[in-house]
Amino acid sequence: MIQLKTPEEVDAIARGGAIIADFLVEVHPRIEPGISTLDLDRFADDFIRSHAGASPAFKGLYGFSGSVCTSLNEEVVHGIPKADRTLVDGDIISIDVGVKLDGWCSDSAWTFPVGEIDEDTQHLLEVTKDALDQAVSATVLESSVGDIGAAVVARVKGTGLSIIKDLVGHGVGREVHEEPQVPNIGQSGTGPALREGMVLAIEPMLSCGTAEIQTLSDRWTVVTRDGTRSAHFEHTVAVTPAGPRILTAVPAEAAA
Ligand code: MG
Ligand code: MG
């Protein structure tokens, strides 16, 4: 069942979302060659818990060991933070963050360049972020969940990039993952109607090569099957009469 949120509940989710947005701004300058993904995880855990009542929503979720997911290069999602995994110039790293505050969850992800990245990787990041923006713009009353995926498809068409179709966005609320699923490949006018009070994590994931994925033997890390790079951007968004409201909005400083 899709749980609709009252305006007050949407505000409560936005308060947690603001912690994520602030975290993404604060972590950005720390993303440099030599830092480990565990260092970033510890920073995230400390930062989130420094806000009264807030905790990292992914810690322990389904048994995950980290406070955030750190996925490098060909890793699409669910990378486990590790002390011996250090960033190298030219890498990209996706940090996926969930916060629980006063019983409400919010969820966002951002893919950052590490030092200088090549042109193809820059293209991947730009198109993926743009696909998120287009998908958010499509999250309006009178539309449907299929319109969100259709917006991703329209943006990605002709770019040479692939949409990872086996991973989807989702409702967010008391739980990190609620109904409905929000596929990144959609057809306009299909799927559940968008209604006031729906709160959705919208999260396009693209790759430079195949759309096929596999899970590594650690049972968490999802990688592209052909080893090409993948990017992931995500916002938690509320459907409101005034249009889509991004509850994890990142100030422009984090966008570089
Ligand atoms: Mg996420
Ligand atoms: Mg999510």
For ligand 2, the distance from its centroid to the CA atom of residue 225, given in whole angstroms, is 21
Cα distance from N-terminal residue to C-terminal residue, the chain: 38
For ligand 2, the distance from its centroid to the CA atom of residue 202, given in whole angstroms, is 7
For ligand 1, the distance from its centroid to the CA atom of residue 247, given in whole angstroms, is 13
| C-alpha–C-alpha distance, residues 52 and 57, integer Å | 14
For ligand 1, the distance from its centroid to the CA atom of residue 67, given in whole angstroms, is 12
Q: What is the pLDDT of residue 243?
A: 97
How many domains does the chain contain in total?
1
Q: What is the pLDDT of residue 256?
A: 44
Residue range 166-198, pLDDT digits in tens: 999 999 999 999 999 999 999 999 999 999 999
On the 0-12 / 13-18 / 19+ scale of CB atoms within 10 A, 218 is: exposed
Is 55 part of a structural domain of the chain?
yes
| Radius of gyration of the CA atoms of the chain, in A | 17
166 is in which domain, residue-wise? Answer: 7-255
What's the average model confidence in pLDDT over 137-163?
98
For ligand 1, the distance from its centroid to the CA atom of residue 124, given in whole angstroms, is 19
Amino acid at site 206: L
Alpha carbon of residue 211 to chain centroid: 17
Amino acid at site 185: I
| C-alpha–C-alpha distance, residues 182 and 180, integer Å | 6
Is 1 part of a structural domain of the chain?
no
For ligand 1, the distance from its centroid to the CA atom of residue 188, given in whole angstroms, is 24
Q: What is the pLDDT of residue 251?
A: 61
For ligand 2, the distance from its centroid to the CA atom of residue 34, given in whole angstroms, is 28
Is 188 part of a structural domain of the chain?
yes
Q: Which ligand is nearest to the CA of 109?
A: 1
Is 42 part of a structural domain of the chain?
yes
Amino acid at site 62: Y
Is 2 part of a structural domain of the chain?
no
The CATH number given to whatever domain includes residue 165 is: 3.90.230.10
**What whole-number percentage of the chain has pLDDT above 70?**
98
Q: How many residues does the chain have?
A: 256
Per residue, the 3-state secondary structure of 177-198, as one string, reads CEEEEECCCCCCCCCCECCCCC
pTM of this structure: 0.96
* Number of neighbouring beta carbons within 10 Å of residue 242: 8
What's the average model confidence in pLDDT over 192-211?
98
For ligand 2, the distance from its centroid to the CA atom of residue 89, given in whole angstroms, is 27
Is 216 part of a structural domain of the chain?
yes
